[in-house]
Structure 1
């Protein structure tokens, strides 16, 4: 089990003075960073609904409990389930690395892309270590546990980031499919065709031919796999040839696209049942999360219990590493979110929760309150569309914003912390 690292700071809230959520709201701060992200080609070359963002965390601060527990700042002791103030995020600081993945599509071709960025300017870790940075830095990258490759990341003046955007399409004829922005990015190296690093196409997960198959084993290393996580090992160097100061100084940063989103095109398995349960006709099913039958090994509804966790029966003091092999549900709610309404960034110490979008869509955020042992602590942001649900584990930060000009309807179920 990894050593649990909790929130870096807890802000004590004076009794009778509720937090000010209007100024410097963390949810709006984070989604403002999403808005300012810049991709290498024209906007029309990307499927907007597919874009997924990673923002590694350096520091975060939570609000403390409300009175009379305002001095109970240790998370292990915060057992009052009805005090929601202690769940809410007050502020955060990000690291220098960012990542985006999604589907690119041009003139009949559809395939994966991956963008990695490093913050420019003298306040980045790499600049401080090297004393200066030039017009390009180096990137050593391993995708999905594959062989590490060295890439050149040129400086992008528009975004103030050193950037590499890889496309899973060969360079043959690509230039003719791009607009002026994309062509310029090809010329400067911001956009690099690398099908060797991003294998697989847009049709690999089509419904046809998947009956009865475990989707986890289908194109298992596809960089846009709808179920399997994608992990990246990243190391930046001050010089483009891989020499000079590095960030991190030793080893690499482990990034992970891990958000559990399931729905019509993201599932564990799919099939058809004739006369279901003695009925009539045919029923098509999609197993989204499961801990029974041939999917009993998925482990996706389990959670690891630390000694301070309250389990489904309200008990504490578990041996470290004990697991609860089911998803306990203690409430089911319907929510309607007006345009520009957002559920703020917060966490539940103990309980899992699911967000099922019924109508409209929203920007879903799931992040790490504690080190998971699988990736560097970060925020992950992606679109949650109607018919899809996101499942978060106990302790994970999360939030949701409706950015559209129409209402969104949401079904939420889980347990309170």
Structure 2
């Protein structure tokens, strides 16, 4: 277990009460309660992508007869679906959201950053007192812009907030409603095309035939296949206290009709007739050889595709099952993790909130939950060890094709 986290023992014969204070519901309530700087109609809701760093986790232990095997490294029994379900979590001080902003006839990317207000944040403790009506935050987008910006206190959300839109004009006030204008007045909403880079037509289908999409507009804030890492340093307004670096990374692997590695048309496919339009979603072939997206790094405690331990690298995705699932209205697959195996969720019909997160710290970002909408025709892939869950917020069933391995 990561230092400070907890394994919660469940008495033999008992079952955790998943219907009370469910972690998936709690996390999605945070998402639902996130107040962006402008009116809801100023955002393309399906594009919203949340990163919520967490600082503590508790996982349920196994069921009987393995009740006392609380160390995940020793939990080699693959068919116990109670072990490593999330029992509880505590979010950190920082939160981030990205997506498409809509201002009249303008569409462009935005980056929303916020920090916990009140005396219980790490920055307040370092400062030794009230942080006042605003913070400073140094924002460095990997491969993009960097700037120090103000993050005023936003009374509606009870957090220090800055929201950076990629709008290049001087008339943003005329493109938002009353809430957006108030955010501009407070300094919460800012036009910063140097930070929020990217044109809405950068990945239009017509211009992508045969191109490696990873190399198209690599500094785009909403790149469909490249991860986006943002390094933050939060400072008190008087610069006497600083917390950081805090690395937030938008890196959930989601692929589908509008998120792919390559697209094109093949004549007489495999000796057939006419044309086939293809989209490479995940691949170990041709120019994508060695990308590592379908592989996994094995820790000494991981079981490989053949059930052996020893560590190393596995360059392929091992599949132990293929299932069709129907998730009823208002239901969800709870937050949990598989220690060893990767898994793919392919949405066939409907849409749901997909959650993928980190169990342990990594060298690329502060551990977090990522939340984004998974739409029909798109898949999300998670690696062994990732926390994950899926919620159906609609009033009708959704259907999924799932494959991979679990433990």
TM-score normalized with structure 1 length: 0.95
Q: Which runs of 5+ in 1 are unaligned?
A: none
Which of 240, 245, 248 is equivalent to 1:244? 240
Cα distance in 1 for partners of 2:176, 2:308 equals 59
Instruction: Tell me whether 1:289 sits opposite 2:306 in the alignment.
Output: no
**Where does residue 366 of structure 1 map in the other structure?**
356
* Contact 1:6–1:369 (CA under 8 A) maintained in structure 2: no
Q: Which runs of 5+ in 2 are unaligned?
A: none
Residue 380 of structure 1: CA displacement?
0.3
After superposition, residues 28-177 of structure 1 pair within 5 angstroms as 28-130=25-127, 131-146=129-144, 148-177=146-175
8 Å CA contact 1:115–1:166 kept in 2: the answer is yes
Moved >3 Å (runs of 4+): 4-7, 145-148
Structure-to-structure mapping, 1:317-336, within 5 angstroms: 317-318=310-311, 322-336=312-326
Residues in 2 aligned to 1:171 and 1:236: alpha-carbon distance in whole angstroms: 28
CA deviation string 1:188-225 (max 9, x = no partner): 11100000112221110000121111100000110100
TM-score by length of 2: 0.98
User: SS where residue 207 of structure 2 aligns?
Assistant: coil
Quote how far apart the aligned CAs of 1:317 are: 2.1
Residue in 1 that maps onto 2:262: 269
CA distance in 2, matches of 1:71, 1:78: 10
Match of 1:348 among 311, 330, 338: 338
Within the alignment, does 1:375 sit opposite 2:365 as a pair?
A: yes
Quick check: 143-152 or 35-44, which moved more?
A: 143-152
Query: How many pairs align?
Result: 406
Structure 2 residue 374 is the aligned partner of structure 1 residue 415: no
What's the counterpart of residue 392 of structure 1? 382
| C-alpha distance in structure 1 between counterparts of 2:62 and 2:89, whole Å | 18
Seen in structure 2, the aligned counterparts of structure 1 residues 186 and 404 have a Cα distance that, compared at 3 Å, is same
- Asked whether the 8 Å contact 1:7–1:62 carries over to 2, the reply is no
Partner Cα separation in structure 2 for residue 137 and residue 375 of structure 1: 22
Contact 2:145/2:195 (8 A) holds in 1: no
| Superposition CA RMSD, Å | 1.2
1:190 aligns with 2:199: no
Q: Secondary structure at the residue paired with 1:354? A: strand
Secondary structure (helix, strand or coil) at the match of 2:344 reads strand
TM-superposition CA deviations, 1:56-82 (whole Å, max 9, x none): 010001001111111111111100000
